[in-house]
Amino acid sequence: MKEYKLQGLSCANCAAEMESEIRKLDHGDAAQLKFNSSKLVVDEQVNLNKVRQILKSDGASLIETNEHGEKGHHDHNHSHGSNMKMLVFLSSVIFGLTFLLQSYVSGYVLIMMYVAAMALSGYQTFIKGARNLVKLKFNIDTLMTIALVGAVAIGEWREATIVAILFGLNEYLEGLGMEKARNSMEQLLKVAPKQATLILENGSERVVPIESLEENDVVLVKAGEKIPSDGIVIEGFSSVNESAITGESLPVEKASGEKLYGGSINNEGLLKVKITRAYEDSSLAKILHLVEEAQEMKTPTELFINRFAKYYTPAIMLISLLVMVVPPLLFSMEWGSALYQGLAVLIVGCPCALILSSPIAIVSGITKNARNGILVKGGVFLEQLGKIESIAFDKTGTLTKGAPTVQTTRVYDPERFYTIAGSIEKNSSHPIAKAVMAEVNAKNSALKEPSKVEALPGKGIYAEINHAPYFMGSEQTITHLDLSKEQQKDIEFLKEAGYTLVIVSSEEEILGLFGIADEIRNESKSLIKELHLAGIKHTIMLTGDHKKTAEKVAGEIGVTDVYAGLLPEQKVEQVKRLSKGTKLAMVGDGINDAPALATADLGIAMGKGTDSAIETADIVLMQDHLGKLPSSIRIAKQVNRVVKLNISLALGLKLAALLLTIPGWLTLWIAILSDMGATILVTLISLTVMLPKSAVSTSVVNKEADVQVET
């Protein structure tokens, strides 16, 4: 299969018809004409000349690209929009002159001027409509051609000219709106670097296309250049702008050993980078591929509109025929007036505004989210996100940082507590040991080398330091001691508060207690609040931790429901149960979250989580936090509102036009204005999705994990 860029593709209905025609060609049965991204995917064996003819019949042209995606030869139709604008302008000028000259020139001259104005803005429509009429294919071009011929036949030259001019203007505006949405997507896709400076084995440098980079290649990235693919810094220090990937505006400092995203920009230093993924497997390539694919995934609303449009136009044609025939036969109406009214009804049959009510808004919503570092894998998921009522979160690594830290201590022997704890744990790689060592190092305690360290299964650790025995671990390590009331009270308090308890003791007494917990992300509390403000009714925490710990975290951040002590399979069962009563999204970051993400109505993964969670999820947040989740929900809700409003306007204006036939007030120019007005309105309203929001929005600074509220 090969992909081609298309020019001049402005009508969604026409695009569907052209795809159907191309699929009838030899080797064309798998062809896909992607209207939203203006691309054609066909088998390489298909006859391109025949494809070009099909496209040309509807005013589109095909642009061939080479293997690097660069434009090659193509039909010269770059200025389709500009030409249409100029033709409509000239038509309007000529039409205006007819008003100035109608008292000074003969009727034949005026007719010639009307014909000239009509031809300039409507000749393409007329030619396409005539071809379709021969094939008995009824689309907007066919309807407009019949209306123009009918108007001329009954001598309505002025009306026919107005219809031609307004339809030309309508086509131009329709194409312009879709092109603006496509351009916003094109700008997003331009973040991909084109070349890289490869360091060869002999130390020399060579500029190569990024497609040729392989894993373990070493590249040089100068200040201002883009990182060519995912990699690791092996030499140098700099700050890097990762906004193209994560949507975060603040630069991130990178030193040796730090990971880099392809497509991010090196701000000032010189970096030597070892490539860890070939470009096609990089984060940026996946993002761009997902965004492009997302444009073409039809939402349930779009599928319904397309099905509705198939019946709508034939129904309007039948109504038009009845308007032409029934009033003269039953109500003694003049045949000329009835024919005129029927032609006007025929124009109302154009489904373009209705079909256009969804795609521009969907593309705008996907693009805006992508710019914020939120990957929505399809319009169907964007629509679903706007309908979500409840969100379930995995606790560890999502609402919390996923790394235990010492939250509180109780010290009974200050001279020995930190020294003994650090001496026992200094060589351990256990997460709790690391948490203890971070606290010990903060106290600058002098550590000693144990002469003996022994694990006590299910209890903790036994160690001998300076020939004295010490214990560190759970309550099981202090069963030989008599505790004071203060010590018993402290232990019970820390347990009730949900902390993991680590006790340090000698053979005679307790030296102190560590209260350890997974640290809550700084943004979690305000995140939950923002989600509730965004319309989420229930926020739910799912965790494998014990109940006290889960309730402690839930109480601090404000989630509405908590389910603790869950195994991965139990999380899935819980998600299934919760999904029965509400539209539920599941948010997670680990491999054990993947089944639950797939089970929920909508799966949302954090981008710095595991590949399996990202692959399973329907929406990916490329940041290492959830701070932008509320804004993505607001965008999705806005898109859903816009689509509903567009459909109402498109159908409402047409219904109003049809009702004007009852008193006989419907004219050709009112009919075309109803369609044109609907097209302009749905286009402009859809493009408002791209506008920056002035309302309160939440953005999380990843570097410091602080919450900033912008107004």
Q: Could you give the angle at the alpha carbon of 405 between the alpha carbons of 404 and 407, nearest 5°?
A: 130
Listed in sequence order, the DSSP H helices in 356-464 are: 359-371, 379-385, 417-425, 431-442
DSSP letters of 488-510?
A: HHHHHHHHHTTPEEEEEEESSSE
Instruction: Output the CA torsion 464→466→467→472 (10° steps).
Output: -20
Contact by Cβ (8 Å): 365, 358: no
Q: Could you give the angle at the alpha carbon of 477 between the alpha carbons of 472 and 482, nearest 5°?
A: 115
Q: Could you give the angle at the alpha carbon of 164 between the alpha carbons of 159 and 169, nearest 5°?
A: 125
| Rg of the chain over all Cα atoms, to the nearest angstrom | 34
Residues 6+ apart with CB under 8 A from 397: 589, 590, 606, 609
Beta pairing partners, 206 = 198
DSSP letters of 2-69?
A: EEEEEES---HHHHHHHHHHHHTSTT-TT-EEETTTTEEEE-TTS-HHHHHHHHHTTT-EEEEE-TTS
DSSP letters of 302-340?
A: HHHHHHHHHHHHHHHHHHHHHHHHHHHHHH---HHHHHH
Distance CA(458)–CA(476), nearest Å, equals 8
Order of strands across the sheet that contains 265-266: 252-254, 238-241, 265-266
The count of other CB atoms within 10 Å of the CB of residue 667 is 20
The set of catalytic residues is 394
Place of tokens 């000698």: 506
**Residue 290 φ then ψ, to 5°:** -65, -40
Distance CA(362)–CA(486), nearest Å, equals 62
Residues 6+ apart with CB under 8 A from 639: 361, 362, 364, 365, 382, 383, 386, 689
Based on the number of CB atoms within 10 Å of its own CB, is 129 exposed (0-12), middle (13-18) or buried (19 or more)?
A: buried
